[in-house]
Amino acid sequence: MDNKQLLELAEKARENAYVPYSKFHVGAALVTKSGKVYTGCNIECASYGGTNCAERTAIFKAVSEGHKDIEKIAIASDNSEKNEITAPCGICRQVIGEFGLDIKVILGYSKGDIKEFTIKDLLPHSFTGSDLK
């Protein structure tokens, strides 16, 4: 699974976004080290704090099926067609980092520019489980 293919899956997942409040559609797609693919969209709630981002939807689907060996995650939004990146929010950065600081984060547009970061790049000096030991 290359970065362009993973972004295409994120762009497709975005179509399922449930966004009556923000109207901002986001999709995410991840692949595990063993090649399993999970997608997610953002799901909003009238009690706004109940909203779940696309990235966390995909991660929670993967982990809840026993696949936490995430290799990379791609993110697409309504801004993708404008060739603009949508970077994960702080909560999602922390959740991505929970499963490995070397996880790659793929941002951009499948028909445009594609950028690759590690979650360590996006969340430097992070608080981790080892701080609790």
Ligand X SMILES: O=c1ccn([C@H]2C[C@H](O)[C@@H](CO)O2)c(=O)[nH]1
CB-CB neighbours of 100 under 10 Å: 16
The residues binding ligand X (CB under 6 A) are 19, 22, 24, 26, 42, 44, 51, 53-55, 75, 86, 88-89, 92
Choose the binding region for Zn ion from 11-19, 21-29, 48-56, 107-115 (rule: CB under 5 A).
Answer: 48-56
Kindly identify the residues of this chain, within the stretch 110-129, that bind Zn ion according to CB under 5 A: none
**Beta carbons of 33 and 73 less than 8 angstroms apart:** no
Residues with active-site annotation: 55
Cα–Cα dist 24/126, whole Å: 28
Candidate list 17, 74, 75, 92; residue touching Zn ion; CB under 5 A = 92
**Beta carbons of 29 and 4 less than 8 angstroms apart:** no
Positions that interact with Zn ion (CB under 5 A): 53, 89, 92
